[in-house]
């Protein structure tokens, strides 16, 4: 009789545990359901072009402008992972043209996104942006790109950017520095021909001022103005040694610039002992 009572109690205990586990599992699933339900869905489509309205065009210099596009609602997000890009489709006299761009905004900037574009004299997509007026629409699809980032995945980033190659670097830097749980340090070397060619001057200065111990910028100019106190010429191995984290398993060097610069930087990094897994080219 005592044995039957013990067996009955054991069965009741096991059933109770089973119900508890089911309840915990259901609660967890419901929590994630609510989290995903409340998280805005990104507006981009990786397979199909979607049109977004240009609402503000701000000329920053003779050949650089900022384009602000509205998203469908004030709480919509673009849905672009950190460091990835999207394809933009435009037209010129030769027909359709498609080129990748990285916004300078993040998904924390809800309701809109911005592109900073340098317009080249012979650039086909540059022609399209020069012709765009507020109220026009631009077709885009994405996200695209191999870069995947998780907060804290490295101790420090070294960034080698040239010209418009600053845009993915700026997006990654913003995402890191504006996340209070991410303590990654960033050292950026940014190369241009003239002082006027430097994009996002004010935004980079603000980050450097707000995070002086975690974000450092070293600008290099091929044709510097009088009194320039930054780097001069092309980015050298010595500059990389002085301004980027040394080779280690917990650092990564990101590079993005014109093809000749990317090739030169790859050679410098190899000579300095940075293994392939320590590097990434956008």
Domain boundaries, the chain: 1-39, 50-144, 156-281
Kindly give the pairing relationship between strand 251-256 and strand 156-162: parallel
Class of domain 156-281 (CATH, top level): alpha beta
User: Residues 116, 101: contact at Cβ < 8 Å?
Assistant: no
Q: What residues act catalytically?
A: 85, 101-102, 256
Produce one character per residue of 24-40: b if its CB has 16 or more CB atoms within 10 Å, e if not.
eeeeeeeeeeeeeeeee
pLDDT tens readout for residues 86-141: 999 998 888 899 999 999 999 999 999 999 999 988 899 999 999 999 999 999 99
Using CA atoms, how far apart are residues 20 and 14, in angstroms rounded to an integer? 10
Class of domain 50-144 (CATH, top level): mainly beta
CA distances from 71 to 166, 187, 199 (A): 24, 33, 24
246: its two tokens: 């040394």
Residue from 98, 88, 91 nearest 44 by CA: 88
pLDDT tens readout for residues 171-223: 999 999 999 999 999 999 999 999 999 999 999 999 999 999 999 999 999 99
0.85 surpassed by pTM: no
Under DSSP, the state recorded for 121 is T
Using CA atoms, how far apart are residues 105 and 68, in angstroms rounded to an integer? 10
């Amino acid at each position: 009789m005592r044995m039957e009572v013990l067996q009955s109690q054991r069965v009741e205990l096991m059933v109770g545990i089973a119900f508890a586990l089911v309840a915990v599992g259901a609660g967890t699933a419901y929590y994630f359901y609510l989290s995903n339900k409340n998280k805005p869905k990104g507006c981009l489509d990786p397979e199909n072009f979607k049109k977004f309205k240009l609402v503000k065009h701000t000329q920053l210099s003779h050949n650089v402008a900022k384009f602000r596009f509205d998203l469908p609602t004030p709480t919509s997000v673009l849905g672009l992972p950190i460091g990835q890009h999207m394809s933009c489709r435009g037209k010129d006299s030769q027909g359709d043209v498609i080129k990748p761009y990285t916004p300078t905004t993040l998904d924390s900037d809800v309701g809109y996104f911005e592109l900073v574009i340098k317009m080249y004299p012979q650039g086909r997509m540059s022609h399209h942006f020069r012709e765009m007026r507020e109220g026009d629409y631009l077709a885009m699809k994405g996200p695209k790109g191999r870069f995947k980032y998780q907060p804290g995945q490295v101790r420090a980033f070294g960034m080698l950017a040239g010209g418009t190659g600053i845009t993915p670097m700026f997006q990654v830097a913003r995402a890191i520095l504006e996340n209070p749980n991410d303590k990654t340090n960033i050292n950026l070397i940014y190369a241009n021909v003239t002082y006027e060619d430097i994009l996002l001057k004010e935004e980079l200065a603000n980050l450097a001022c707000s995070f002086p111990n975690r974000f450092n910028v070293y600008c290099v100019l091929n044709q510097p103005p009088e009194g320039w106190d930054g780097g001069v010429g092309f980015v050298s191995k010595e500059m990389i040694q002085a301004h980027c984290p040394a080779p280690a398993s917990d650092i990564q060097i990101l590079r993005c610039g014109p093809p000749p610069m990317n090739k030169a930087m790859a050679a410098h990094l190899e000579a300095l002992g940075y293994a392939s897994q320590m590097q990434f080219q956008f």
